[in-house]
Amino acid sequence: MSIPKWLQIAHEQVFPCGAFVVSEVTPMIDFDKSSGENRVQARDRDTGLPMWQVEVLDGDPAAPKRSRTVTVKFAAPAQPIAPTNSSGTPFTPVVFEGLMALPYIERSGDFSRIAWSFRATDMKAAGKASTATTTARESA
């Protein structure tokens, strides 16, 4: 059986009520290689590309408290840029492209639960067609 480590998943499956960027995109820190004032940016194990992260609010009002805010990570040569916020709110609506999920066990004392790590290849303003979707429509 060949099940990939990272599972491809549609943005709408993870964020059916929308996703909202609530932080700046920042470098992920490799705590094993960092020391004191010398902070080393984490790199993707497979590609060697620098890793970046952004905090995202799940728009689902029924989302459990501990999963309302998640981190989405990117492996990219340059810092990804969040779309411009034209929503009139402090939160930027966003759609993640190339979204992948990795389940893992989160332990807290005597309790464990399945948690998810998320990665994406890009992010676009909500409501904007992706390049792949636009190309598919144009060729039809």
* Average pLDDT of span 14-18: 95
Give the residue extent of every domain in the chain: 7-139
Q: Are 72 and 120 in contact (CB under 8 A)?
A: yes
CA torsion, ordered 5, 6, 7, 8, to nearest 10 deg:
-140
Residue type, 21: V
* pLDDT recorded at residue 129: 55
pLDDT, tens digit, 9 for 90 and up, residues 70-102 = 999 999 999 999 999 988 888 999 999 999 999
For 19, list phi and psi in degrees, rounded to 5: -130, 145
Which 8-state DSSP code applies to residue 29?
B
**Spatial separation of the C-alpha atoms in residues 122 and 115, rounded to whole Å:** 22
Query: What is the pTM for the complete model shown?
Result: 0.84
Q: What is the overall mean pLDDT for the chain?
A: 88
For residue 36, name the pLDDT band (cuts at 50, 70, 90): confident
* pLDDT recorded at residue 124: 95
